[in-house]
Amino acid sequence: MPSHPALIACSHGTHFAEGREAIHALLALLKLPGTRVAEAFVDVQEPSVDEVVAAMAGPAVIVPLLLSAGFHTGVDIARAARSRGGVVATDPLGPHPLLAEVLSARLDEAGLEARDHVVLAAAGSSRPEAAVHVERMRDLLAARIPNPVTVGYAAGADPRIGAAVQTARAAGAGRVVAASYVLAPGHFANVVAAAGADVVTAPLAPDPRIADVIAERYRAAARLLETAPDLSVTHL
């Protein structure tokens, strides 16, 4: 039997096989011996996070495989965490310095040049806390590279990615590079790719640094659960 709380890795879900493969590859990079890992989803795929929590006995930590707070963390995942004692939900993966490292690496892989303007291209949400998280990631990325960095969203918030690209180009950027701030290939990665940037980076996953963020989120919550087994908390 596992000696630690289970880890429920809750992602959005996607119809795209490449996206599913990227998430599976990411979870394969986790180094959490003795920990049961179960997948759950908030949309598109099954089982839902509610179903996984209901079917699982014992303590569990839900780690959202999402880059920012939003409707799914605040409603779907929070509801599942509140459904019984012994379940906690952590913050999403971002913002985090390791994600800035991965973004910087993707920009290097894409051939970032000194003349380039970078648009941090996020999925977006109508929830204000999501924009706060993305702006914090912008700051973390901007501290790692000499290029100007602005933000654009695929949906839910302004400016949209295409508008951010046009603004950067109008301001005299030599090239505009969209830093794809999405976890895996799928709908939002395609929106980023179609937004008119001169260069578009690859999505973030799979990458061992993202697996480290998942493990970090899990361990902090698991330590708390081990001292208070009946706890029910969201956004730890």
SS (H, E, C) the chain: CCCCCEEEEEECCCCCHHHHHHHHHHHHCCCCCCCCEEEEECCCCCCEHHHHHHHCCCCEEEEECCCCCCHHHHHHHHHHHHCCCCEEECCCCCCCHHHHHHHHHHHHHCCCCCCEEEEEEECCCCCHHHHHHHHHHHHHHHCCCCCCEEEEECCCCCCEHHHHHHHHHHCCCCEEEEEEECCCCCHHHHHHHCCCCCEECCCCCCCHHHHHHHHHHHHHHHHHHHHCCCCEECCC
- pLDDT tier, 1 (very low <50, low <70, confident <90, very high otherwise): very low
Whether residue 62 is found in the same domain as residue 106: no
Q: Can you tell me which residue has the tokens 């996206």? A: 19
Q: How far apart are CA 176 and CA 25, in angstroms?
A: 30
Query: Residues 178-198: pLDDT tens digits?
Result: 999 999 999 999 999 999 999
Please give the C-alpha separations between residue 89 and each of 14, 55, 85, 86, 194, in angstroms, as whole numbers: 21, 17, 12, 10, 34
The predicted structure's pLDDT at residue 232: 59
Whether residue 18 is found in the same domain as residue 85: yes
The predicted structure's pLDDT at residue 3: 63
The predicted structure's pLDDT at residue 39: 98
Mean pLDDT confidence for 22-48: 96
Residue 185 lies in a domain: yes
Residue 36 lies in a domain: yes
HSE-up of residue 160 (Cα within 13 Å, Cβ side) = 11
Whether residue 127 is found in the same domain as residue 215: no
Query: Residues 109-167: pLDDT tens digits?
Result: 999 999 999 999 999 999 999 999 999 999 999 999 999 999 999 999 999 999 999 99
Whether residue 213 is found in the same domain as residue 172: no
CB 23 within 8 A of CB 205: yes
Whether residue 120 is found in the same domain as residue 171: yes
Residue 1 lies in a domain: no
Q: How far apart are CA 136 and CA 30, in angstroms?
A: 25
Query: Residues 5-24: pLDDT tens digits?
Result: 999 999 999 999 999 999 99
Whether residue 53 is found in the same domain as residue 145: no
The predicted structure's pLDDT at residue 188: 96
Residue 88 lies in a domain: yes
Q: How far apart are CA 38 and CA 33, in angstroms?
A: 14
Whether residue 23 is found in the same domain as residue 79: yes
- pLDDT tier, 218 (very low <50, low <70, confident <90, very high otherwise): very high
In percent, the amount of the chain with pLDDT more than 90 equals 89
pTM of the complete model: 0.93
Q: How far apart are CA 38 and CA 59, in angstroms?
A: 13
Q: Can you tell me which residue has the tokens 């795929």? A: 45
Residue 20 belongs to what domain range? 6-93+207-233
Q: Report the CATH number at residue 212.
A: 3.40.50.1400
pLDDT at 49 over 60: yes
Whether residue 72 is found in the same domain as residue 129: no
Whether residue 58 is found in the same domain as residue 118: no
Q: What is the 3-state secondary structure (H, E, C) of 180-203?
A: EECCCCCHHHHHHHCCCCCEECCC
Whether residue 107 is found in the same domain as residue 157: yes
Query: Residues 72-108: pLDDT tens digits?
Result: 898 999 999 999 999 999 999 999 999 999 999 999 9
Q: How many domains does the chain have?
A: 2
